[in-house]
Amino acid sequence: MRQSIFFVVSLLCYTSLFSQSIIDSSLLIDSLIIYYDSDTYELKEEQIDTIMTFVKKSKDGVGFHYVIKSYTDSDGSNIYNYKLAQNRYHGVLEVLSSMAIELSKVEKEIYGESGLSKPEYNEIEKADNRRTILKVRRKVQFINVNVQLFNNAGDTLLNPQIKLYYDGLENTIDISSPSNMMVPIPLNEKVEMHFTAKNHFPMIKRLLLRPDKEATQIRIPFKKMSLDSTMVTTLQFEAGRSVFLSGSYNELYSLANTLNRSDNVCVELSGHINRPNEKPVDVLSDYHKLSIARSRVVFEYLVNESIN
């Protein structure tokens, strides 16, 4: 059961359709870093177990593939370190092969000492450079979408920004040309687009683009904040608890981002445990305490995001 706390949101978006070329690409799903002792490439038993647990989450998924990137510290010659990185790559590859991962699904990147993650001023930093990174990626098709942001009153949009959320990932796009820009959007993915601009209400657009009906233009009309204007949004909680449902975090970020980037704007929190238009609960009941607790966790989130 989902229960909610309410705030403000008026959305007006429309999409026009026409043919557009499709781009083959991939999304980073997860990554794992394996560290080594000096001048070694053998994996410890606990590292093998960690790799197998990591790979099991994706090995049977459609379109998944793996990237193994191996590095060393700067001790030794370039040639020696390149061979050492190769051995580290093969050690991880053997684990994947034991799990019936096809070689065609694995990409190899050998760096040796050419890919230091940080300067080596001491042994701790050298240890950080002795690593193999195992990445899980999923093949995805993208289409470039023309996004147009504007204000109906003709005012200039200051510092507009787009955040894309899909498959648990987040992508931030700072906008240089609000009136006309191209944004790559993945096909067959539930995508949530958050649009913000200084002193304007945030906008949200949800998309699920299909190859046969590509949405290639999106127009987002912004509404400027004023003394007589409000915005309402809804945050959802686990039933009987003051714990956010995962889908509420994007809304929270959008709210905090709006407050941080806009002048003379305040927020009013109203915690609910009952459905709209139902009879209010008794102020002495545990339900009323729960509604206060829900408002409190939103307040604490905003304070942690540097909202005064």
Give SS3 for 305: coil
135 close to 127: Cβ distance less than 8 angstroms: no
Q: In this structure, is residue 228 part of a structural domain?
A: no
Q: In this structure, is residue 262 part of a structural domain?
A: yes
Give the number of other CB atoms < 10 A from CB of residue 227.
5
Asked if residue 246 and residue 204 are part of one domain, the reply reads: no
pLDDT at 101: 92
Total domain count, the chain: 3
Asked if residue 61 and residue 15 are part of one domain, the reply reads: no
Q: Which two tokens stand for residue 226?
A: 């004023």
What CATH number does the domain containing 76 carry?
Answer: 3.30.1330.60
Going from the C-alpha of 175 to that of each of 16, 161, 172, 197, 202, the distances in angstroms are 21, 6, 10, 10, 15
Asked if residue 255 and residue 212 are part of one domain, the reply reads: no
Asked if residue 56 and residue 188 are part of one domain, the reply reads: no
Asked if residue 183 and residue 159 are part of one domain, the reply reads: yes
Give the number of other CB atoms < 10 A from CB of residue 122.
8
Asked if residue 291 and residue 256 are part of one domain, the reply reads: yes
Q: Which of 165, 198, 222 is the last residue of a domain?
A: 222
Rounded distance, CA 210 to CA 135, Å?
Answer: 27
Q: Which of 222, 242, 275 is the last residue of a domain?
A: 222
- Contacts of residue 269, Cβ cutoff 8 Å, sequence gap at least 6: 5, 7, 295, 298, 299
Q: In this structure, is residue 135 part of a structural domain?
A: no
Asked if residue 121 and residue 145 are part of one domain, the reply reads: no
Asked if residue 172 and residue 217 are part of one domain, the reply reads: yes
Asked if residue 122 and residue 41 are part of one domain, the reply reads: yes
131-151 vs 64-71, strand pairing mode: antiparallel
Q: Which two tokens stand for residue 275?
A: 């459905």
Q: What is the dihedral of CA 238, 240, 242, 248, to 10 degrees?
A: 20
User: Cα angle vertex 44, ends 41, 45, to 5°?
Assistant: 145
Q: In this structure, is residue 2 part of a structural domain?
A: no
Rounded distance, CA 140 to CA 25, Å?
Answer: 5
pLDDT along the chain (308 residues), means of 10: 38 37 82 95 96 88 89 93 97 96 93 88 89 92 85 74 80 71 85 83 82 71 71 76 80 76 69 64 72 84 80
Give SS3 for 245: coil
User: Which residue range is the domain that position 206 belongs to?
Assistant: 11-21+141-222
Q: In this structure, is residue 250 part of a structural domain?
A: yes
* Amino acid letter for position 219: R
DSSP 11: -
What CATH number does the domain containing 177 carry?
Answer: 2.60.40
Asked if residue 154 and residue 16 are part of one domain, the reply reads: yes
Going from the C-alpha of 114 to that of each of 91, 93, 109, 111, 129, the distances in angstroms are 20, 21, 12, 5, 10
